[in-house]
Structure 1
Amino acid sequence: MFNYNIGYLLVIPAIIFTLIAQTRVKGTFNKYLKVPNTRGYTGAQVARDILDRNGLRDVRIETVGGYLSDHYDPRSHVLRLSPQVYDGNSIASISVAAHEAGHAIQHGVGYVPLNLRNTLAPIASFGAQAVWFLVFAGFALQMLALIDVGIVLYAAAVIFQIITLPVEFNASSRALEQLEINGFITANEVSPARSVLNAAALTYVAAMAVSVAQLIRLVLLRGRRD
């Protein structure tokens, strides 16, 4: 029972941290979504310019539905931006667009953590979806091997989350550098752009914390069956 309680004591704070991080990123994004950038660039314009300047003319830019649904698809070489980012000329819009362009740059230069994350992605996705089915089946059938398989698969998902951190922080660093050196933002806009990028990165830290806490909880639950 003691180990079981420890599991919950780890998971609950991590979930609270995640909720705080999500609230912060939405609040920061919405705040600077109302602040136009001085030079009037849209997110699509900034992304296209950054990609072209870095020799990535083959990367297409498309709109995608949803809120904060922006992402770079390395399989099809497509950068997808939400309507608020694609057409928006706010500090938030160009910051998010530059961040996603940063991922395209990573892909173009063969950034090792990104390649490793992309390799782990299918296993991590399967592990995150299958873990509880395997764990519950293992307990129900008294088959510890099923629980062990579930834990191993979920561990892959945790490793994926850990590797995601340097990938996201590096993309944000590249984004801010591109925004500055290419003159997309003024000196006064550097701090707001950094705030948007940092808030987004915090959500990945929170996701990793939840994943690690859940893995520890699974291991503790497994230990109770020995």
Structure 2
Amino acid sequence: MYGYGYGYRLDPTIFLVLIGVLLSLWAQNRVNSTFARYSRVRSFSGMTGAEAARRLLNAQGIYDVTVQPVSGKLTDHYDPRTKVVKLSDSVYNATSVAAIGVAAHECGHAMQHNEGYGPLRFRSALVPVANFGSQLSWPMILLGILFGGLGSPLVQVGILMFSLAVLFQLVTLPVEFNASSRAVRLLDSQGILSGEEVDGTRKVLKAAALTYVAAAAGSILQLLRLVILFGGRDRDND
């Protein structure tokens, strides 16, 4: 009996998955520790995350986007369907450098949406396709193996569908980097933060960006594993 063509030996491609998991854990720990550090640094302006968000949006002439609280920790996001910047409990009423930075980042997404930023539009168009691909890729692969072997066309279709989810992760990177860049620049130009406060916000947002980089890297490593295990040939005949 053989497993993925490697007999009873340990599948060496599992290390690709482990690397992705370790990257994700490292990035999550980094963002949590950095956010916690700068959550203890109160901004000189004394503005809350919600107040800073409203001021930034008004400064850009965006008056149809509302700012609302949302429960949870670091659950902040911008909903383009309802045009709402949703700020978590640790950001909405907080006056820290970290809170203001996160609020500004979400406003960056609202600004992208307002101006029709290309990568954001592309990512939004990918959402249904990527969700469809991520949900059905593994069932397709397993069905292909069960009924047609490792070289089954269903397996190849499953890998292709998974690649759509990977593409979504890659497109997300420039969207997130751009939102952070806008946030830092506007907080400085609007005088909401200054000097070392801006540097602190930059560190918080860089740490947050690492979670997206780690997610993309993990998806790429998983795709590589699928290609190595199932791509191109039927190992049932080996």
User: Residue 169 of structure 2 aligns with which residue?
Assistant: 161
Distance 1:29 1:62 in 2: 20
| 1-structure distance, mates of 2:157, 2:78 | 31
Shift of 1:145: 2.2
Q: Is 1:225 the equivalent of 2:231?
A: no
Mapping of residues 1-226 of structure 1, within 5 Å: 1=5, 5-142=11-148, 144-223=152-231, 225=234
- The SS at the match of 1:184 is coil
Q: Which one is further off, 119-128 or 87-96? A: 119-128
State how far apart, in whole Å, the 2-side matches of 1:95 and 1:151 are: 38
1:97, 1:70 → 2: CA distance?
A: 8
Give the Å deviation of 1:137. Answer: 1.4
Shift of 1:5: 4.1
Q: After TM superposition, which residue ranges in structure 1, 4 or more long, deviate above 6 angstroms?
A: none
Moved more, 208-217 or 5-14: 5-14
2:116 partner letter: G
Question: How many Å apart are 1:113 and its aligned residue?
Answer: 0.5
Q: Greater CA radius of gyration, 1 or 2?
A: 2
Gaps of 5+ in 2: none
The percent identity for this pair of structures is: 48
- Bigger shift: residues 209-218 or 137-146: 137-146
Shift of residue 96 of structure 1? 0.2
CA-based RMSD = 1.5
- SS of the aligned residue for 2:104 comes to helix
- Kindly provide the amino acid, as one letter, of the partner of residue 153 in structure 1: M
| Matched position secondary structure for 2:125 | helix
Unaligned runs of at least 5 residues, structure 1: none
The structure in which a higher percent of residues are helix is 1
1:42-75 Cα distance to aligned partner (Å, 9 max, x none):
0001111111111211011111111110001111
Shift of 1:10: 2.2
- Please state how far the C-alpha of 1:6 moved relative to its aligned partner: 5.0
Partners of 1:208 and 1:6 in 2: how far apart?
A: 21
